[in-house]
Structure 1
């Protein structure tokens, strides 16, 4: 199936993603990432911020398209840029709530410092990572704990491309977030 930049049908996008996901995502990436990078850089973000935001937006678009919950009123690229803009706006608000002197130079340290100690929360995140399964555990630990590049993670886990490893990382991370949210929602309803 040929993927067109002027594609307006969610069903056609879904078919293109299912037929050749890598080709469809690559085409979307090439068409829309420059606009996302420009937007993020104009609004105080780095190239790395733009990549993170774009990958999150791409995962959201993919999940909605494949899950048949996507209703397109514009081209997929336009929809993707819109998702990325909203994600960046949320990220800016989150950063604005943090004290400026608390922001480390390394964004990876930000997550580690912002998270309370396991004793304070009543659970250990690694317990939840263990429950995700061997593949997810391998990907998440390699990326976040050992800080391995995605090329190395893709190769070690048998993914055909870096993009596949990126999508898998985000899916695993979302599963981890959902598991942790479920615990917090049950804790808050108990009180």
Structure 2
């Protein structure tokens, strides 16, 4: 199998081959870009291999049709970078969908709604306590915990976004933040 190059002037040639319908080249292009894409998205967005593969297939399909429909005729970057850009938009969409999905088992049944009301109120109260504690902790705890638990960022991504040396520093800070939260929860429960 000859090597497919997808950067520099080779990018324009690659787009031309895709547009012309060169199936052999298209398969090579797909296979060459897949491993790096899967590895990066699994590491930086905490998604499963199946989710990353699905994301890659959608990204590659969008790239293919953008070339075929002449939405792109040339790229300033290489094809890999273009695929990553599409993937980043798709992963944001995936997380938005997850956030807004309501599972049927999360909706209380009518006959148990009365008994569940107390549980729902207790959970709301606990969420309120956690929110107050996060506000009280301030930065960097608030950003680290929100990025990790609510936005599904990897430790490496958090380190990069917040300017820390590496993911080990973030892990240590996260542990210290969680320790502070435990102390605040104990204090909130005992009323001291």
Scaled to the shorter chain, the TM-score interval is: 0.3 to 0.5
Q: Give TM-score scaled by structure 2 length.
A: 0.45
Q: Give TM-score scaled by structure 1 length.
A: 0.45
